Structure 1
Amino acid sequence: MSSGILFDVENHFACVTLDRPKALNSIDPEMDAALFEAWSEINSNPDIWVAVVGATGEEAFCAGANVTGGTEGDGRRMALGGGLTGVGGPLLTPRKPLIAAVQGYSIGGAFELAMCADIIVASDIAPFGIPETTVGIIGEAGIMHRAIRQLPHHIVMAMILTGERIDAQQAERYGLVNEVVPFEKLAETAASWADRIASGSPLAVHAAKDAVLSRAGRPLEVALATREAPIEAYANSVDRLESPAAFAEKRAAQWTGR
């Protein structure tokens, strides 16, 4: 990978790092395309079980979009963040668990990018904000749709209508952030979350995430009556056989993701 991101895979973990610190990690078209490649690889590679998205520098996780509309290789417009946000183009949904390590400003499109994660870890100086109305810019409202689903109604409305930010401690109190730590411990904490997730069967984890998110907007009776294809596929997997074998032999399970 290139063009403004670092992409590394090791021990079933993928690390996607926004790497334009001089531009406060704002996302330009080249970076958007590189992010699309990274998310696509994470989704399709069975040896990747968990992903972490972070950024270089200390000041900003991401300054949002520096794009007029990113493009995929064939020239089609895609959503901000390599398709992750769904704003301005097709939505690319991460199939694997995604942890966001937010070390600094997470404002506008960057806030939305963080909200695409399943787990958010923030440094104790990271603010979150929705500044659109204060600067007179209203385009696609994806950030507002996500925020109203992840934060209390009146907190979000105050953020939207005034442009005022919440700090990391408030974000944790409102349930947006899972853990707040000093900047020096941010990478270690994100890795710890990844380790904890990867201790379970990756296929079971991925199937559970798919089941939850694919039915989150449906009535409960519909969700309960729906068969989940990934869960049914797991029943015939190698990992499903490993589970009772490990229990019977009183040992730790050796997952393969197959």
Structure 2
Amino acid sequence: MSSGILFEVDNHIARVTLDRPKALNSIDPEMDAALFEAWTEINSNPDIWVAVLGAAGEKAFCAGANVSGGTEGDGRRMALGGGLTGVGGPMLTLRKPLIAAVQGYAIGGGFELAMCADIIVAADNAQFGIPETKVGIIGEAGIMHRAIRQLPHHIAMALILTGERIDAQQAERYGLVNEVVPYEKLLETAWSWADRIASASPLAVQAAKDAVLSRAGWPLDIALATRYEPIEAYANSADRIEGRAAFADKRAARWSGR
């Protein structure tokens, strides 16, 4: 794995850590390439069921980016955040559940990276902001499109138009984050969420995520009428057989992710 992040896997859970604390974990080209490698490994490795994205240091999760449309080692363009955000290049879709553990500043591209997660746990010192208008820089506006979809309309517009921030407690009240905890318990809490997800059938979880997100912007009748290949494939998986056997035997399932 390239430098700029730390990557480890433990008990089916991948931990990705932004590791440039002196630069407030801002995303540079090297980190972008490392994140691309991490997401690619998480997607392709059947023994990874959940991912947790965190950051080194107490001051910032990620204070944005000093790169727009970085390049991978072979010269291909990628979107910001290793492809995850869809800003500046092709978007990489993470098939596994992603939990973001956010502390300190999550602003600009860092805020957008957090919004790419399925679940956000925030430390009580977290601050979320969209500073583009305040500093007079408007580029590819992915963060604004995400904010208007993940926050109440008037809250998102206030953030976008003023460049001001909201704190962790406000973010929880507006439904942006799932839980706010003291900084000292941030990673423990994020890991607890990951453990809870990993206790479910990994293939069922991945199929559910694909179905929900692939039709999130479509009318309900179309979403209901859609055939979802991962769900259909799950019907013939070893995990589905194990799930039914575990239910009949009144025991905990032993998932294989296959």
Structures share a fold, TM > 0.5? yes
SS at match of 1:6: strand
Whole-angstrom CA distance in 1 between matches of 2:110 and 2:73: 23
Whole-angstrom CA distance in 2 between matches of 1:135 and 1:123: 26
Match of 1:91 in 2: 91
The CA deviation at 1:67 is 1.6
**In 1, are the aligned partners of 2:2 and 2:33 still within 8 Å (CA)?**
no
Match of 1:228 in 2: 228
**In 1, are the aligned partners of 2:125 and 2:167 still within 8 Å (CA)?**
yes
Match of 1:253 in 2: 253
**In 1, are the aligned partners of 2:101 and 2:120 still within 8 Å (CA)?**
yes
Whole-angstrom CA distance in 1 between matches of 2:164 and 2:64: 17
Map residues 198-217 of structure 1 onto 2, 5 A cutoff.
Answer: 198-217=198-217
Percent of aligned pairs sharing the same letter: 86
Map residues 30-69 of structure 1 onto 2, 5 A cutoff.
Answer: 30-69=30-69
What is the TM-score when the length of structure 1 is the normalising length? 0.99
Which amino acid counterpart does residue 39 of structure 2 have in structure 1?
W
The CA deviation at 1:73 is 2.2
Which amino acid counterpart does residue 130 of structure 1 have in structure 2?
I
Match of 2:111 in 1: 111
Match of 1:2 in 2: 2
Please tell me the root mean square deviation across aligned C-alpha atoms, in Å.
Answer: 0.7
Whole-angstrom CA distance in 1 between matches of 2:94 and 2:175: 21
**In 1, are the aligned partners of 2:68 and 2:80 still within 8 Å (CA)?**
no
The CA deviation at 1:244 is 1.4
The CA deviation at 1:190 is 0.2
Which amino acid counterpart does residue 143 of structure 1 have in structure 2?
I
The CA deviation at 1:68 is 4.2
What is the TM-score when the length of structure 2 is the normalising length? 0.99
Task: Name structure 2 gaps, 5 residues minimum.
Answer: none
The CA deviation at 1:76 is 2.2
CA deviations 1:35-55 (Å, max 9, x no partner) are 000000001110000000000
Match of 2:101 in 1: 101
SS at match of 1:87: coil
SS at match of 1:166: strand
Which amino acid counterpart does residue 48 of structure 1 have in structure 2?
I
SS at match of 1:256: coil
Task: Name structure 1 gaps, 5 residues minimum.
Answer: none
Whole-angstrom CA distance in 1 between matches of 2:116 and 2:65: 15
Match of 2:12 in 1: 12
Match of 2:70 in 1: 70
SS at match of 2:165: coil
Whole-angstrom CA distance in 2 between matches of 1:89 and 1:73: 15
**In 1, are the aligned partners of 2:69 and 2:87 still within 8 Å (CA)?**
no
CA deviations 1:46-86 (Å, max 9, x no partner) are 00000000000000001111224310222122111000000
Match of 1:153 in 2: 153
SS at match of 1:172: helix
CA deviations 1:177-217 (Å, max 9, x no partner) are 00000000000000000011111100000000000000111
Moved more, 128-137 or 247-256: 247-256
